[in-house]
Amino acid sequence: MPKFTSEPAYHNRKFLDSDDGRPVRILAEYLEPLYRLRREGVHDTIVFFGSARMTEDGPLGHYYNDARLLAKKLAEWAKTLHGSRRFVICSGGGGGIMEAANRGAADAGEKTIGFNIGLPHEQRPNPYITPELLFEFHYFFMRKLWFSHLSRALIVFPGGFGTLDEFMETLTLAQTKKLDRKVLILLYGSKYWEEVINFKSLVKHGTIDSEDLNLIKQVDDVQTAFDYLKKNLPQKAEATYPALAKAKFSGR
């Protein structure tokens, strides 16, 4: 006869790691970050996307340094705002531009978020992420949900497939009005982006409307980006977390 135990299902690691347990794992990647972010008082974020391959002394090192400085300036400004923790600098948790963003926020003495992802060629979290705000995801779509769920601005530095994927998904959500609030989208480095994506050609061929280009702001220097965000980000905190997160339950 097989030997069974009376432990609760949520203690059954074999089940949780199985195919049948996948929905539970997916839900955990929503609820566990939700719990920790609320506990840390994070109200909203500014997300930095960009290549993991950039270094501060590499061929495109000026982008690394610009991302670091911009993140520092934004973090210093955000700490002057009243209310819960506002516009926390957030990245994908890895190296390159992600590291630069987290590093800049750390330079300002502020907490900073890293949404890391487990990859075949292991992506290690950078050392500048606030430990209690380091998250490890298995599912790309849950990681993307958290990028968009709290973001009030997205700053897209030069990058490859991953950056394009994350940028285009957010842009599509904005275009189709699937976001419940306005997210400012900045493309940093117009020379790079105009070479990589011909937005005017999309308008020319009728695959997007000319008004869709208003969803994007192109910038080329730290001060312009900072001034634009400071002017256009909402100073008053808006509702962030769903009703589910605020419900109180009597049981554990």
Per residue in 173-229, pLDDT (tens digit) is 999 999 988 999 999 999 999 999 999 999 999 999 999 999 999 999 999 999 999
pLDDT band (50, 70, 90) for residue 248: very low
- Report yes or no on 103 lying in a domain: yes
- Report yes or no on 13 lying in a domain: no
Note down the domain range covering 176: 41-235
Question: 47, 163 in Cβ contact below 8 A?
Answer: no
CA distance 231 to 171: 21
Domain count, the chain: 1
- Report yes or no on 15 lying in a domain: no
Question: 97, 62 in Cβ contact below 8 A?
Answer: no
pLDDT digits (tens, 9 = 90+) for 36-63: 999 999 999 999 999 999 999 999 999 9
- Report yes or no on 158 lying in a domain: yes
Residue from 173, 36, 170 nearest 113 by CA: 36
CA distance 239 to 136: 26
Instruction: Write the CB contacts of 7 (distance below 8 Å, at least 6 apart in sequence).
Output: none
Question: 49, 163 in Cβ contact below 8 A?
Answer: yes
- For residue 178, give the 3-state DSSP assignment: coil
- Report yes or no on 132 lying in a domain: yes
- Report yes or no on 19 lying in a domain: no
- Per-residue pLDDT at 242: 59
Between strands 151-156 and 45-49, the pairing is parallel
Arithmetic mean of pLDDT, 104-110? 98
- Report yes or no on 219 lying in a domain: yes
- Per-residue pLDDT at 250: 39
- Per-residue pLDDT at 249: 36
- Per-residue pLDDT at 82: 78
126: domain CATH number is 3.40.50.450
- Report yes or no on 126 lying in a domain: yes
Arithmetic mean of pLDDT, 103-116? 98
pLDDT digits (tens, 9 = 90+) for 69-99: 999 999 999 999 977 799 999 999 999 999 9
